[in-house]
Structure 1
Amino acid sequence: MASVKDVARLAGVSVATVSRVLNDSAPVTAGTRERVLAAVAELAYRPNAVARSLRTDATRTIGLIIGDILNPFFTELARAVEDEARVTGYSVVIGNADERPERQDHYVRTLLEQRVDGLLLCPTAEITPLVRDAVADGTPLVFLDRTLPGLDVPTVRADGTAAIGELIAHLTRLGHRRIAFISGPALLSTGRDRTAAFVAAMAGHGLPVRDEYLEAGDFQAASGRASAARLLALPEPPEVIFAGDNLMALGALDEIRARGLRIPADVALASYDDLPWFTHVDPPITAIDQPVQELGRLAVRGLAERIGGRPADPVVLAARLVVRRSCGENDSMEGSARR
């Protein structure tokens, strides 16, 4: 394998000049640059990333720890992070916390031992010791999708408050009054925020929030199905089931179909989080869509700022309502967005 000394010898320059060309760290003449790059190509030289990281204390890698890799939202988010990281010259190492604090800490420890330059973290419900230590040690860190109160870490997230308000307004225009909500875990900021937005939107339209219409799920399909089963077994079942994430919406859909009920004739269905296949079911499902690509892009940019020793501002993007036919819509209905 060719070394940087071999490149320098073939190009007739010093090792320092080769380094300046490859790292673009200082100006060199056009002729010198051409000779160095020609030598690199002829020798098929590849820089040693490990050796470079020992010299520069940078590995050009970042860690991404997500809540649940089987959740399509996190899968898409990881892809968005990876795409932006590649553009900015970083590689991404992904850890799946599976919503377990101890597994999250395992990945925090492992990634820091691998000397990643910074961490993007979709935190679990609690402040774990290693996360607290990473913040105290000045590790470049950005929270993604979720917040952890009490830690001075910038967060890149979406806010669905307005979109949930638009959904409730849309449902009332369709004549729905009995609206049930399957929430996520109250320990997670996303679970709390979406529940608070739902309660506020219902109050804003003069609709009661009946205790039996509030179900606590866990962002998994099984909890969505179990919650839908309880709701549909009530003496006065809801007219609408609004699931707090896409997997719980999938579970609710399974239960509705298992009971032989029709959507939306017998019960309407809406989801927080959109999925590409929501347009392919019959009827297509109304959903609140989060700007996943933009979240991933801005999270990587914010982390790059922190790696560079600069502050990164928190970012809050608006989610949007996508109106389809699962709540009783027809082609003449107007929603805030259609697709």
Structure 2
Amino acid sequence: MSISLEDLARKAKVSKTTVSLVINGKSEEYRISKETQKKIQVLAKEYNFKPNSTARALRLKKSLTIGLIIPYLNRHFGRVAEVLEQTAREAGYQIIIAITDDFLETEYDLINNLAARNIDGLILATMMNRDQYFKNPVIKKMPVMLIDRRLEGDDIGWVVSDDETGTYDLVSTLCKEGIQDIHFIGGIQKLSTSIDRLKGYKKALRDQGIGYDQQKVQQTGYAVKDGYEMTKNIFQKIKQGPQAIFTSAITLLEGLLQYTKEHDSEMLNITRVITYDDHPMLDYLQTPIISVRQNAEEIAKKAFEVMHGILEQNKEFSQELIKPKLILR
């Protein structure tokens, strides 16, 4: 059973106000010593202290809820959502998760629905462009942080993977092996993830002295079926297969693997495959696939840290690039 704030303050030998400030993440603002913070946090965990969220919400005139809108619950976004929910819960906030399936109209509806629930802020992987974003009447009324996908301009806060650098490192690895014929299978063209990954691909080719060929680039979507169809297009044009294929998402890799399994699994002995995103199952494939692993945990924690600072301490939003990790196999 959880103890009360009064009991926790008595055990820590501090005031109820001090306990409240520490629990609510305002220790630094009110210059509470590290020693006192640690003592309160240890006791809170030991005695399973649970803040009265209803009373706190009424006192602060907040709902203590944050909306999270993401396109899918795949491995990457699922992990982001999981860590974000855990981090928010520890700070006394509840995350409400909604899925768009990358449909813009669905995103608009979900933003309105969450706003009607009086959320305090919104963390969003958006399909909108900059103009649509700033014309949205709901967006103007609440703190918003973009996640995974960014929009241009220094007046929008975001936390995203460094997609350009991650792709650059990945493609450069193949180029340094002497492979020059690398086809690009990408997602939705207008999204920053697609734009930045294509930039990284082009830059890697240029720095290795390899010419860019638009005919080797396809970008139709991030669904498994998109990966399947784009792979099909490549092998219909090049019967023996290209030297290498880069897939810009794990779902596109899944489509590629599905196609090769149905048609000729020996294709992968001729064509090297590299992918943005990672999955533990890649360690068990007979054909080694080099990948880039996004740091979903850091993305989630940083997004909440920034949003929490905005809501609790009136801090400004920030723009954060999180470096992914190259996984060699």
- For 1:175 and 1:64, the matched residues in 2 are separated by 43
1:306 to 291, 304, 310: 310
1:274 aligns with 2:257: no
**Superposed CA offset, 1:223-252 (max 9, x none):** 001101111121463111100101001101
The equivalent of 1:61 in structure 2 is 65
* SS of alignment partner, residue 270 of structure 2: coil
The equivalent of 1:201 in structure 2 is 204
The equivalent of 1:250 in structure 2 is 254
Aligned residue pairs total 296
The equivalent of 1:332 in structure 2 is none
The equivalent of 1:260 in structure 2 is 264
User: How large is the Cα RMSD of the aligned pairs?
Assistant: 3.1
The equivalent of 1:94 in structure 2 is 97
TM-score, structure 1 as length reference: 0.77
1:222 to 201, 225, 242: 225
Which amino acid is 1:310 matched to? Answer: K
TM-score, structure 2 as length reference: 0.80
- For 2:299 and 2:76, the matched residues in 1 are separated by 11
The equivalent of 2:300 in structure 1 is 296
Check conservation: 1:243, 1:270, Cα contact below 8 A: yes
2:320 to 315, 328, 333: 315
Equivalence map 1:134-213=2 (5 Å): 134-137=138-141, 139-149=142-152, 152-213=155-216
1:259 offset after TM fit, Å?
2.0
Specify whether residues 163 and 19 from structure 1 end up closer, same or farther in structure 2 by C-alpha distance, changes over 3 A only.
closer
- For 2:128 and 2:186, the matched residues in 1 are separated by 15
Range with bigger deviation, 181-190 or 312-321: 312-321
1:233 to 236, 249, 262: 236
- For 1:110 and 1:151, the matched residues in 2 are separated by 28
* SS of alignment partner, residue 98 of structure 1: coil
Which amino acid is 1:314 matched to? Answer: Q
More helix by share: 2
Which amino acid is 1:315 matched to? Answer: E
1:21 offset after TM fit, Å?
9.1
- For 1:189 and 1:47, the matched residues in 2 are separated by 39
- For 2:200 and 2:176, the matched residues in 1 are separated by 19
* SS of alignment partner, residue 269 of structure 2: coil
1:118 aligns with 2:121: yes
**Superposed CA offset, 1:295-337 (max 9, x none):** 000000000011131113211111221111xxxxxxxxxxxxx
Specify whether residues 283 and 265 from structure 1 end up closer, same or farther in structure 2 by C-alpha distance, changes over 3 A only.
closer
Check conservation: 2:66, 2:94, Cα contact below 8 A: yes
Check conservation: 1:263, 1:269, Cα contact below 8 A: no
1:80 aligns with 2:88: no
Mark the structure with the bigger radius of gyration: 1
| Structure 1 segments unaligned to the other structure (5+ residues) | 9-17, 27-40, 325-339
Specify whether residues 319 and 52 from structure 1 end up closer, same or farther in structure 2 by C-alpha distance, changes over 3 A only.
closer
- For 2:156 and 2:209, the matched residues in 1 are separated by 38
1:208 offset after TM fit, Å?
2.4
* SS of alignment partner, residue 233 of structure 1: helix
1:272 offset after TM fit, Å?
0.5
Check conservation: 2:67, 2:96, Cα contact below 8 A: yes
Q: Percent identity?
A: 23
Specify whether residues 316 and 244 from structure 1 end up closer, same or farther in structure 2 by C-alpha distance, changes over 3 A only.
same
Specify whether residues 277 and 201 from structure 1 end up closer, same or farther in structure 2 by C-alpha distance, changes over 3 A only.
same
Check conservation: 1:160, 1:288, Cα contact below 8 A: no
- For 1:281 and 1:172, the matched residues in 2 are separated by 22
* SS of alignment partner, residue 212 of structure 2: coil
Check conservation: 2:246, 2:273, Cα contact below 8 A: yes
